[in-house]
Chains A and B, each alone.
Chain A
Amino acid sequence: MLRSLVPVLTVVAAIVGLWYLAAIWMNATWVYDQAAREGREVMLVDLVTETLHQERPVLPAPHQVAKGLYDGFFGQKVTSKRSLVYHGWVTLSATLLGFVMGSGLGILLAVGIVYNRAMDMSVMPWAIASQTIPILAIAPMIIVVLNSMGVQGIVPKAIISAYLSFFPVVVGMVKGLRAPDGMQLDLLRTYNASAVQTFAKLRLPSSMPYLFASLKVGVAASLVGTIVGELPTGAVAGLGSRLLSGSYYGQTVQIWAALFAAALLAASLVAIIGLAERVVLQRMGLVR
């Protein structure tokens, strides 16, 4: 862990450095235009200071994004329409609701698939094939159709995010429930274990590593689903709508701040599941 800290910090520093250079380079055109209009020469120092402090830069410098994030989080009351906390919560609540629905249904379907041969053969090929399909494309349609049926607010977005987290969980959980090998299943048979006991004492515990791996994929997919689900409703609330309204009005700093807020949200969701994974697996004795 500590061994890779220095390399990681070096890489991150290099990325930030490149970012500053790119910001100067990409924002330079505007500075030269301004200077030519006012008829003054641009020195290197002016170029650097002016490119890094524009109102609507082509590429905002890291400190501008950081300031945008800080203003978004702490600059106003959390109920304000300009607060990233408010928009983040709108996105997070829909994501969590959808994720719980999607992964719950996914686990149920996986149990059905493992215990019912007909279900396995009917559903499983479609579940696998659906992973190659850009499901996200139907997000706007779901929103609009549900809207025309009078369903608004958090539910349509949650349905999209549930749909996206559903299939990774099904596929991972089926793999996990099938992880016990024949020897272990035979052992439980010699114990005269019932189907419920086999499930509770062998299949479910041995599926945990697979479950957590697919939950991590699922929660990331859920968040993407919610953000895309927020696009077609006309940018009312949520991080996706911040992205869209930022792109309508050319507010680049707002776009980048929303993007980083979404990244923070995704990273913390994955980290929370990772933490739960470590605790659960440790209690079960699966990690040494």
Chain B
Amino acid sequence: MKGLAIMAAVAAAGFVADWRLGLVLAVWFGAWTLNAGLAEGRGPWVRRVVPLIFGITLLALWEMTVDLFEVNPVILPAPSAIWVQLIDSIPVLWADFVQTFVKGALSGYVLGCGAAIGTAILIDRSPFLQRGLLPVGNFVAALPIVGIAPIMVMWFGFDWHSKAAVVVVMVFFPVLVNMVAGLKATEPMQRDLMATYSASYWQTLLKLRLPAALPFLFNGLKIATTLALIGAIVAEFFGSPIVGMGFRITAEIGRLGLPMIWAEIAVAALAGSAFYGLVALIEKRMTFWHPSQRRQ
């Protein structure tokens, strides 16, 4: 109750200072009180509805603020303006998406992750190489690897090949480190069992160690999804053909076409979460046996 009184007081003070500010505050506090009330409730739907209300409230407040205070669209366009822009320029956005995501990020992701998994299996047989490569891999994974983008653009040209190359380098080390850790995840008891079956190295690898490595591998693969998209977009800042998400962002900045940039960012956010969600879904299907995937 005390919280409610404070909120009402702040909103009232806002009305006194400026009715527009008061309106924005009132909507915010109203939505917040609704959420606080809902959050007390039990039920599976609460966990879905509350974040949704929060998101919608933020969008509504954004729209209200831009409209009421007449913010210059060059600084912050309203969500409705962004939506109109998004619908109007679907062909352009689709072309950018194909260039950056499908050609650049996805091909680089597949190549880089494949190479990392292969390398991990290769060095798995040599403890010497593992002890040498793992610290180097961990070290490189913390470095600002996007910085190699200008070099790759010089080597592989402006088209998507250079973007894929950047993505390959970016995703390689996180996946490698996770895969090597995963290949070590079997227990001596399990390996002994395989030995009593007189299983060969490859049989043990295929039937025991690779499945056991999957939870670790997917951890790396999920981190790599975001890195891939970042790599592909940032590499386009250093030079690109006249299509692509990063190119569009830099080009529209020059023309102060803010709605288009926001539309591009919305597409990037959607693509990023969809990509992550897809990998998470595959993980769920393939590692259904793991404790973290069991239903509570």
Contact = CB atoms under 8 A, between A and B. Distances in A.
Given A11-B129, A141-B253, A123 B233 contact: no
Interface stretch (A79-87, A175-183, A255-263): A255-263
Interface in A103-135: 117-118, 120-126, 129, 131-134
A252 B151 contact: yes
A134 B250 contact: no
Contacts of B151: 247, 252, 255-256, 259
A122 B35 contact: yes
A5 B154 CA distance: 35
A7 B46 contact: no
B226 A126 contact: no
B211 interface: no
A132 B273 contact: yes
A224 interface: yes
A216 B142 CA distance: 9
Contact of B46 (A58, A121, A149, A243): A121
7 contacts: A133-B273, A136-B230, A136-B234, A145-B75, A148-B256, A223-B144, A231-B237
The binding surface of chain B is classed by DSSP as: helix
A148 B75 contact: yes
A133 B226 contact: yes
B143 A262 contact: yes
Interface in B142-164: 142-144, 146-151, 153-155
Interface in B114-142: 128-133, 135-136, 139, 142
Interface in A236-271: 239, 243-244, 246-247, 250, 252, 255-256, 258-259, 262-263, 266-267, 270
Nearest to A131: B226
B154 A252 contact: yes
A228 interface: yes
A243 B226 contact: no
Contact of B150 (A8, A140, A148, A246): A246
A173 to B, nearest CB: 19
A191 B154 CA distance: 66
Interface in A196-229: 216, 220, 223-224, 227-228
A62 interface: no
A137 B142 contact: no
Contacts, number: 167
Interface in B238-253: 238-239, 245-246, 249-250, 253
Contacts of B206: none
B187 interface: no
Interface in B212-265: 225-226, 229-230, 233-234, 237-239, 245-246, 249-250, 253, 256, 258, 261-262, 264-265
B135 A4 contact: yes
Given A3-B131, A4-B131, A137-B233, A129 B273 contact: yes
B55 A126 contact: yes
Contacts of B154: 58, 247, 250, 252
A141 B257 CA distance: 10
Nearest to B55: A126
Given A140-B253, A247-B153, A266-B143, 20 more contacts: A8-B131, A9-B132, A12-B136, A118-B38, A121-B47, A124-B51, A133-B226, A133-B273, A134-B233, A137-B249, A145-B258, A148-B74, A232-B250, A243-B238, A247-B151, A247-B239, A252-B154, A262-B147, A266-B144, A267-B143
A45 interface: no
